[in-house]
Amino acid sequence: MEPKSIHQIINNSALNFQERKKVAQKKERFIMTAQLKELFNTEAKKYYLLENRNFTVNEDNKSFLNIFCKYFAQDPDFETSHKGELRKGLFVFGPQGTGKTSSFKIMQNVSRTYHLNQVWVPIIYTQKVVEQFNLAESGKTDYVIQYFSKGKFMFDDVGAEKEASNFGKEDIFGRIMELRYNQAIRSYSRKCMMNYAKNFNKNITYKDVSWFAKVEHQRRYKGYEDEVIKGKEKSGAIKPGLQTHVHITVSRMHKYKRVNLSPRINARKSNKLMLNGINHSGGFDRSNWKQLNEDSFDKMFGYSRSLEEKFETHRILKNGRIEEQIAMKSLIEKENQRDNINQISY
């Protein structure tokens, strides 16, 4: 009866090409968590049977396998119940011999057997990456790092690999993770400049704007900061924690035409702009640009922003009418109380 049940699952979850295309466009799941659990259970039994071992779901692995299958099924409950983010990677850790790598191999078998590309992830052994780096010709070691800095991989035993050495010691996976992180920051910076160009209302794109961005990951204490004044830190000392920020230099003129693009000079709304002999509305609303960037950040990184963190909240608390400020503070207090209750019940 078990094989029949599995085929029913596959038949029920199988989609034709057009339906799969729609699913990909909408980013919807095409296999449910319960279905994936049953397939995983069947393939796990086959996998461990080859090692003369039995596979059972018990109290030791039940919670992990539940979360693991929800992640690969792209189940929204992974985010709501377990506070994870489906847009991000999965960090699996634990003592040696607890089945971490085996779980990924079994998921690969599920993908191969039932043609579920959704759950496929290449398994890359970190020591193999180090060996590729060490054997690379002089000047080509960066190709190894660049290759693994993009795409979806399961890096097995991160931190257990030997230090790379190709005319000098190298923390390969530190560089790979940093590159992946920097790519995300660069993508967000580019999106901010898209919003910048769009916010002028002059029918231009970010490619019409001359700009340069530099990503930095450190900040240093200044002599006027409280920590330095109180003697807790020295001026010039590196600040702890996440300090990633981006410096962007922008030209105030159009890249190709004599059109002013200064957010400080342009009014918020204007109908006096002449472009190629045609009147255009223009202007730059700085508050709107900040709001666009906040929305872009939350969408790009899947960030669930609290009311207290929103730009509009800060704008009201700083510049709003007294009654607006009182109402906003009341809403923030209610949200914080609700969050505290949820934390206790969780």
305-333 confidence digits (pLDDT tens): 899 999 999 999 999 999 999 999 999 99
**Is a pLDDT exceeding 60 seen at residue 275?**
no
How many whole angstroms separate alpha carbon 115 and alpha carbon 15? 11
Looking at residue 148, what is its pLDDT? Answer: 78
How many whole angstroms separate alpha carbon 69 and alpha carbon 40? 8
Write out the H or E segment, with its range, that includes residue 250: strand 245-254
Half-sphere exposure in the Cβ direction for 200 (13 Å, CA): 25
Q: What distance separates the 2 farthest-apart alpha carbons in the chain?
A: 81
Domain positions in the chain are 2-121, 124-170, 179-305
User: 56-69, pLDDT tens digit by residue?
Assistant: 888 888 999 999 99
Looking at residue 141, what is its pLDDT? Answer: 67
Structure tokens given for 248 = 């962007």
Give the mean model confidence (pLDDT) for residues 214-225: 92
Looking at residue 269, what is its pLDDT? Answer: 58
How many whole angstroms separate alpha carbon 41 and alpha carbon 12? 18
Task: Give residue 201's region: left, alpha or beta (phi > 0; psi -120 to 50).
Answer: left
User: Which is higher by pLDDT, 55 or 157?
Assistant: 55
Contact 69, 38 (CB under 8 A): no
Contact 6, 45 (CB under 8 A): no
What percent of the chain shows pLDDT beyond 90? Answer: 37
Give the mean model confidence (pLDDT) for residues 147-158: 78
How many helical (H) and strand (E) elements, i.e. helices and strands, does the chain have? 13, 8
Half-sphere exposure in the Cβ direction for 26 (13 Å, CA): 9
Dihedral, 113, 34, 122, 21 alpha carbons, nearest 10: 80
Band (29; pLDDT cuts 50, 70, 90): very low
How many whole angstroms separate alpha carbon 326 and alpha carbon 317? 9
Looking at residue 21, what is its pLDDT? Answer: 44
Give the mean model confidence (pLDDT) for residues 227-236: 93
State the chain's mean pLDDT as an integer. Answer: 80
Contact 102, 47 (CB under 8 A): yes
Give the mean model confidence (pLDDT) for residues 76-82: 88
Query: Which of 88-102, 162-176, 294-308 has the weakest average pLDDT?
Result: 162-176
Give the mean model confidence (pLDDT) for residues 245-262: 86
The model carries a pTM of 0.60
